[in-house]
Amino acid sequence: MNPHRFKNIFLLIALLSFFGILLFWLYMHSPIAAEQKEVVLSPATASFEQSAKKLKIIALGASLTEGVGASSPEKSFVGVLEHRLNITIQNKGVGGETTSDVLKRLDTEVLIEHPDIVIVVLGGNDYLRRVPKEEAFHNLESIIKRIQENGAHVILVTLSGGELGDRFKTDFALVAQKTGALLVPDALDAVFGNPEHMSKDGIHPNDSGYALIADKIAPTLQNLINTLTAK
């Protein structure tokens, strides 16, 4: 074979190989390829998510739990947590209720569900209705203990900030210490009293306010879910 002809063929093959590799690289880094890539969960990850979804989680409280002031249920702190952590939470918030009211419906609406985790957000209406502090926190402690006796873990959210100030932080911490509940402190500090995060009624958070509350609760809830699903 003519040496020059052989050299030309070799160069042609080399160029075709180069452009083939270049086109493949460009395709793999294109938006089309990105859309076609399928996210495949490892068996361990899939198993973890299935276990997390099987956990029965309840949010118990009054209007803050119900989501008053949010533009939709999905924008309440419960809805935000559901979306962010890919879980289901039963919302048992009833606007206007005190700790005494919640005690009355605890058996029929919460314990009957045999939950694994209960997020408790209570005390605001007791303060507004001037329920004696000792009575309110005694009720709160009773609620937590009865939930725990039913086999569930409790996450207790501290109510503080705005008009409440810091006056009850120690009381919430003491209840958590006595019962072994997981405490989420300062969950509302950046929300209450801040017009940017409050709804028009000036009492309840707006969407951004509820998102901030979810930010505070999420790490504690996620850690507890991790612990329970690892067993």
Query: Assign residue 197 a region: left if phi > 0, alpha if psi is -120 to 50, beta otherwise?
Result: alpha
Cβ-count burial of 222 within 10 angstroms (0-12 exposed, 13-18 middle, 19+ buried)? Answer: middle
Q: Enumerate the domain spans of the chain.
A: 3-36, 43-230
Q: What CATH code would you report for 43-230?
A: 3.40.50.1110
Query: Is the predicted pLDDT of residue 95 greater than 70, yes or no?
Result: yes
- Structure confidence by residue, pLDDT tens digits, 36-88: 444 444 444 445 566 677 899 999 999 999 999 999 999 999 999 999 999 99
CA distances from 64 to 35, 79, 153 (A): 39, 12, 20
Give yes or no for a contact between 157 and 186, defined as CB atoms under 8 angstroms apart: no
- Structure confidence by residue, pLDDT tens digits, 140-153: 999 999 999 999 99
Average per-residue pLDDT in the chain? 85
Q: Report residue 189 as tokens.
A: 């500090």
Res 146: pLDDT: 98
Give yes or no for a contact between 168 and 123, defined as CB atoms under 8 angstroms apart: yes
Residue in the structure block whose two tokens are 């605001």: 124
Bridge partners, residue 60, by sequence: 92, 120
Res 12: pLDDT: 54
Q: How far apart are CA 122 and CA 208, in angstroms?
A: 21
Q: How far apart are CA 149 and CA 214, in angstroms?
A: 27
Query: H/E element holding 13?
Result: helix 3-28
